[in-house]
Amino acid sequence: MNIVIIGASGHFAYALDGLNNNDEDQTIAFAPGSVNEETDAVYKQELESHGLSYYDDFVKMLDEQKPEVAVINPHYYLNGKITLECLKRGIHCFVEKPLSFSLAELDEIISLYYTAGVHLTSMMCLRYHPAFYAACKAVEEGLIGEPVLITAQKSYKMGLKPEWMQERKKFGGIISWVGSHSIDLIHWIGKGEIKEVLAHNTTVGNKGFGEVESAAICFYRLANGGQASVNIDYFRPEKAPTHGDDRLRVAGEKGVIEVMNDKAVLITENQEPTEIPMEDEVSMFGDFLNQIKTGSPCRIPAEDVFDVTRLCIKSQEAADSESAIKL
């Protein structure tokens, strides 16, 4: 299959990594997601050597190259718009998260998706992290009984934020950009049965980066009577050994599963803390290409992408309105 890349503001490297040792598929062309997306340096450093043709206009690229697959990672507020352009042309979509910032656009994407006859997934990578995947599968297999309390953490270094990312309408907010990973796990563990969200965010301590929130917290009421929360921040110190500190704790009737420092640990009344065996890491993009070719579902089906995107939008709305929102 022929693959094009639109934009370079997200995690297009997932696609390049997913093509390692893959002789069947190839990336053939690249275009920015908008005229003001600065991509020259990325193209020359990381894409030109892969033989990708350069286009100034992604629509022209799509119409001339007629690819089977598009990797979509422009300035985040354009994710939905570009996805719609690809769906209209019957192109499979590997999209940066969040898929959309608005419910109206999301509904348009969903409607078109179900008539386009293509595949779609989003770059919510924690399902492909061996420790998080092992933990969620263990919960799914009933090792701790009914999950009652889910707590998740996403903590990142602030780094430098370009000017466009300092505008909420273009960046989308810390809940959708950073928190979506953990929100996805809560959705998976809770089987999508979430009844209500209450959230709060702040720009205090954001190092002067405009409207970028420095921290946020979301609380969810689960349909089974349980609760879930995710805390998100940009306060991880620059001296920390890794960019992110991702954690998960799921407490159930029969025990607790915790993920920290790339390990998943199970604790029950009858069992000492035990590391849960982990599978080898699977390529997210490779998994998606396999779904297109064989029909075997990838770990993040389109239906989950739509549900989690809606949940992120509602969570951001709850934070902005400072009120609980029924789901």
Q: What is the pLDDT of residue 45?
A: 85
- What's the token pair of residue 65? 């190259």
Q: Kindly list the distances between the CA atom of residue 175 and the CA atoms of 126, 168, 299, in Å, as whole numbers in the listed order.
A: 15, 11, 22
Q: What is the pLDDT of residue 23?
A: 85
CA distance 176 to 241: 25
Q: What is the pLDDT of residue 22?
A: 86
Characterise 35 by phi-psi region: left (phi > 0), alpha (psi -120 to 50), beta (else).
alpha
CA distance 199 to 176: 12
Q: What is the pLDDT of residue 20?
A: 85
Q: What is the pLDDT of residue 51?
A: 83
Q: Domains (ranges, CATH) in the chain? A: 2-118 (3.40.50.720), 126-281+299-326 (3.30.360.10)
Q: What is the pLDDT of residue 33?
A: 96
To the nearest 10 degrees (0 to 180), the angle between helices 180-189 and 130-140 is 20
CA distance 327 to 322: 15
Sheet with 194-202, side-by-side order of all strands: 271-275, 263-268, 255-260, 244-252, 147-156, 227-233, 215-222, 194-202, 325-326
CA distance 129 to 78: 27
Q: What is the pLDDT of residue 269?
A: 87
Residue 317 makes CB contacts below 8 A (sequence gap 6+) with 325
Q: What is the pLDDT of residue 124?
A: 94
CA distance 82 to 11: 16
Q: What is the pLDDT of residue 46?
A: 83
For the chain, 327 residues long, give each residue's pLDDT as a single digit of tens: 999 999 999 999 999 888 988 889 999 999 999 999 999 988 988 888 878 999 999 999 999 999 999 999 999 999 999 999 999 999 999 999 999 999 999 999 999 999 999 999 999 999 999 999 999 999 999 999 999 999 999 999 999 999 999 999 999 999 999 999 999 999 999 999 999 999 999 999 999 999 999 999 999 999 999 999 999 999 999 999 999 999 999 999 999 999 999 999 999 988 899 999 999 999 999 999 999 999 999 999 999 999 999 999 999 999 999 999 999
